[in-house]
Amino acid sequence: MTSTSLAPAARSAMRAAPLLIPALLACYFVWGSTYLAIHAALASFPPFFQMGTRFLAAAALLMAWVAFRGHALPNRSEWRNALIVGTLMLGGGMGLTAVASTQVGSGLIATFIAVVPMMVCGWGLLFGVRPRALEVAGMVVGLVGVGLLARGASFSAAPLGLAALAAACMAWSLGSVLSTTRLPLARGPAGFASEMLCGGVVLMLASTATGEKFDWPPTPMAAAAWVYLVVFGSLIGFSAYLFLLAHATPAMATSYAFVNPVIALLLGVGLAGEVVTAAEWGASGVVLLGVVLILLAARKPRPQVKRA
């Protein structure tokens, strides 16, 4: 491969590098606070309706900006990819997370979702990516922590919430892997907007099918939380995550799963008065240790699965 053929990739990497740290901080701190915002918005916005309207509003704003700047819109195959990935990540991942939020505290939900890097490693096997030994160790440790967490008082009292979270994590992680391997989105903001638009439509269909009722007018706190989710959780946080998926390693892109639980637990206990038992704090620590091992594995070369 000549230096000329490497030039476009090198230029793209150089342009992306200054944005990696801001994107990471957005995923760390913004997403760490969205779990509490989801819980607050539930006072007036039922789960699927809340998520559907949130992503449709964000998609409309972002798509308007794309059109104003004259950027190319997604082609047919990119719209198809956006529908599949949006259904998984937003319809399944975010929709079911909101369902779980009706029964489980925001901090413990964030801790459970820390299994996403482990699931990303697992799904990667289907696409020829062999996990490193340290990643396997991290997955084992993390799953032990999740098992301990699931046996705690909060999840034991909410089996529906536990099932919804497990399905949400599986859908989100699969969508994350597909978006970087088999189903690429359109480049830049157009890709972000198309996924949020498709996912938002799927969520609204789910809201209609389940007969959700929206309380109007919403309470001031619920309305403020919804606006926060649109601007920070969707436009800033979600766009930052998709940027990381495209320009960083999978381990770096999913490293938010290590920081989010800490922030969410502190906010839930400090601002919302959520109760976390000593055993649940301990289980949370075990889950996060598993995530740390997976992130440390990103420093080593990855072996590839041999194909016939």
Q: What pLDDT digit, counting tens, does each position of 197-235 carry?
A: 999 999 999 999 999 998 889 999 999 999 999 999 988
How many other C-beta atoms lie within 10 A of the C-beta of residue 222? Answer: 19
Cα-based angle 232, 235, 241 (whole degrees, multiple of 5): 90
The C-alpha atoms of residue 294 and residue 288 are separated, in whole angstroms, by 10
The yes-or-no verdict on residue 260 having pLDDT over 50 is yes
pLDDT at 93 over 90: yes
Q: How confident is the model at residue 7 (pLDDT cuts 50, 70, 90)?
A: low
User: Per-residue pLDDT averaged across 170-186, rounded?
Assistant: 90
- Measured between its terminal Cα atoms, the distance across the chain in Å is 25
Phi, psi (5° rounding) for residue 192? -60, -45
Report how far residue 199's alpha carbon sits from residue 69's, in angstroms, rounded to the nearest whole number.
23
The set of residues, in sequence order, having a beta carbon less than 8 Å from that of 18 and lying 6+ positions away, is: none
pLDDT at 13 over 70: no
pLDDT confidence band for 175 (50 / 70 / 90): very high
Nearest to 192 by CA among 50, 120, 90, 68: 90
Tell me the H-state helices in the chain.
Answer: 3-25, 31-41, 47-69, 76-86, 95-101, 106-112, 116-124, 133-150, 153-156, 159-181, 189-209, 220-228, 239-247, 250-253, 256-271, 278-297
| Mean pLDDT computed over every residue of the chain | 84
Q: What are phi and psi of 105, to 5 degrees?
A: -60, 150
Percent of the chain with pLDDT over 70: 90
Are 55 and 196 spatial neighbours (Cβ–Cβ below 8 Å)? Answer: yes
**Confidence check: pLDDT of 112 > 80:** yes
The pLDDT of residue 299 is 62
Euclidean distance between CA atoms 52 and 216, whole angstroms: 16
Structure tokens given for 4: 């000329």
Pair of tokens at residue 18: 């200054």
Would you say residue 147 has pLDDT above 50? yes
Distance CA 301, CA 30 (A): 31
Residue 189 confidence class, pLDDT cut points 50, 70, 90: confident
pLDDT band at 135 (very low <50, low <70, confident <90, very high): confident
Cα torsion through 199, 255, 259, 240, rounded to 10: -50
The partner residues of 304 in beta bridges, in order of sequence, read: 129
What residue has token string 């794309």?
A: 66
Q: How far apart are CA 307 and CA 302, in angstroms?
A: 16
Model confidence, pTM: 0.80
Q: Which of 93, 94, 151 is nearest to 120 (CA)?
A: 93
- C-alpha dist (Å) from residue 277 to 90, 105, 107, 142, 250: 30, 12, 12, 19, 32
Confidence band for 308, pLDDT divided at 50, 70 and 90: very low
pLDDT band for position 94 (50/70/90)? very high
| Closest to 180 in 3D by CA, of 278, 253, 277 | 253
